[in-house]
Amino acid sequence: TGYQKPEVLSHQPV
């Protein structure tokens, strides 16, 4: 349908 659930793909410290 084109809907893609909102997601955090990655989270990391700089």
Partner 1 sequence: MNVKYVQRDQCEATQLEDEWVILDTHLYTITKLNEVGGFCWSLLTQPRSLDMLVQAVTDKYNAKSSIETVQQDVENFLSDLISYGLLEHAS
Interface residues with partner 1 (CB under 8 A) are: 1-14
Q: What is the token pair recorded at 5? A: 């659930």
Q: How far is the CB of 11 from partner 1 (least distance, A)?
A: 5
Q: Is 13 exposed, middle or buried (0-12, 13-18, 19+ CB in 10 A)?
A: exposed
Q: How far is the CB of 5 from partner 1 (least distance, A)?
A: 4
Residue 4: helix, strand or coil by DSSP? coil
Q: How far is the CB of 7 from partner 1 (least distance, A)?
A: 5
